[in-house]
A = this chain, B = another copy of it.
């Protein structure tokens, strides 16, 4: 299937609703699950559910802001289930929904494929860089 044609390219000037979001909703979904932290969060939750801080430790290097943002996006899309327990101190557990598990498995499979190609790709890059040095 050919790529979806995009009508206009926003001439620089006005706040334009994301062209691809409007034109191609699936692009937004794909972006959410393949985003830098999205991949790692989904992968972590593939094992078991996590609390916020647990997840933050499990996914190394993510800021609170980005983790919260990533989780909200995934929750809104219906990939992650948020279970906030009304206790003090607050306790919130995050888990995959069935749909989220489907997504996680696929994206994780792609991630593992990428990992397997690391050496091949490194060689390709070396050859490419060599050819124009």
Write out the residue numbers on chain B whose beta carbons fall within 8 Å of the beta carbon of A102: 113
| Contact between B36 and A78, CB atoms less than 8 A apart | no
8 Å CB contact of A30 from B6, B15, B111: B111
8 Å CB contact of A3 from B1, B27, B40, B127: B40
| Contact between A47 and B2, CB atoms less than 8 A apart | yes
| Contact between A110 and B118, CB atoms less than 8 A apart | no
For A99-111 the 0/1 string (1 means CB < 8 A from B) is 1001100110111
Q: Is the interface of A mostly helix, strand, loop or mixed?
A: helix
Residue of B nearest to A122 (CB): B25
Write out the residue numbers on chain B whose beta carbons fall within 8 Å of the beta carbon of A122: 25
Q: Is A76 an interface residue (CB 8 A)?
A: yes
8 Å CB contact of A77 from B8, B61, B121: B121
User: A residues engaging B (CB < 8 A)?
Assistant: 1-9, 15, 19-20, 25-27, 29-31, 33-34, 36, 39-40, 43-44, 47, 58-61, 63, 75-78, 99, 102-103, 106-107, 109-115, 117-118, 120-125, 127-129
